[in-house]
Structure 1
Amino acid sequence: MNDASPANCPCCSGQRLSECCQPLHAGKPASTAQALMRSRYAAYVLGLVDYLVATTLPAQQPGLDQAAIAAWSSQSSWLGLEVETHELLEGQPAHARVTFTAHWRDAQGTHAHRENSAFVQSAGRWYFIDPTVALKVNRNDPCPCGSAVKFKKCCAGFL
């Protein structure tokens, strides 16, 4: 699955790290939700917890358990990533879904996790909408993604 060569990107794109996820880790905005998702997987492999936090929907960032993220990242051997689908959804702001399977090994054994993740684009950047982090917002409040749209008509359907 994942070629262990440091020149190859851990996201399994087949590209060099320096041409794939590394520029995103350095601050370049991801051009697509799939690119962001791949860079997030690579960040787990590389232990870039700050990047994982920064690429989560800003309103959810305070609810992230950074110590748990760091522990999972460092205590796992990351085995590879398979991206199945990337779907850009119509509307403003732009939303997308990326279906993927991540593979890793830890003290409990070898694992595969398949997920259909949601993303939103805000102010020219893609963000992961974390379904495990609750948002303190009512249906008719402005969406926390920064759009001028009500939460119920924007990101609510992705949580």
Structure 2
Amino acid sequence: MLTSQTTEHRCPCGSGKPFAFCCEPYIEGQKLAPTAEQLMRSRYTAFALGAIDYLIETTAPEKRELIDRAIIAEQIQFTTWTGLTILDKEAGHKEDSQGIIEFEAAFETEEEQCVLHERSNFYAKNGQWFYLDGEVEVRPAA
């Protein structure tokens, strides 16, 4: 288990559900995220909790060579994720093979508060969703 969180602790993804009944089973490898949105939420939670292996495993295999574990670890160390808002969804359901999730993720560093806006592309293969890529914009928080 990543943390000592119990069923009383809310999931960082903002679903309102307890962590143990939301993203934890995906991050811990007990279940596969059933939709593109749930994968995106669990990846946000993985960033918030520092679950680097999960972030790598849920990135499309053809994109993994571009991942630098040390950079991710450094970003996680100096970033506090403070909120997630889903803006739009296109497909990405259990029966789909592709999906797009548009979201905003608020975060803080020692120097600033920002919002990451992303329109992410996902695909499913053999019942498993993967993050492919996205259009990313980071801006100061209002």
TM-score, with length taken from structure 1:
0.74
User: Aligned-pair RMSD on alpha carbons?
Assistant: 2.1
Q: Is 1:21 aligned to 2:23, yes or no?
A: yes
Rg: which structure is higher?
Answer: 1
Q: Structure 1: which 4+ aligned runs deviate by more than 2 Å?
A: none
**What is the aligned partner in structure 2 of residue 86 from structure 1?**
89
Q: Is 1:41 aligned to 2:17, yes or no?
A: no
**What is the aligned partner in structure 1 of residue 124 from structure 2?**
121
**What is the aligned partner in structure 2 of residue 138 from structure 1?**
none
Q: Which residue type is aligned with residue 98 of structure 1? A: I
Greater strand content: 2
Write the mapping of 1:94-109 to structure 2, written as runs, cut at 5 A. 94-109=97-112
Does the CA-based 8 Å contact 2:118-2:134 persist in structure 1?
A: no
Number of corresponding residues? 127
TM-score, with length taken from structure 2:
0.83
**What is the aligned partner in structure 2 of residue 69 from structure 1?**
72
Q: Which residue type is aligned with residue 8 of structure 1? A: R
Unaligned runs of 5+ in 2: 1-5, 136-142
Q: Percent identity?
A: 35
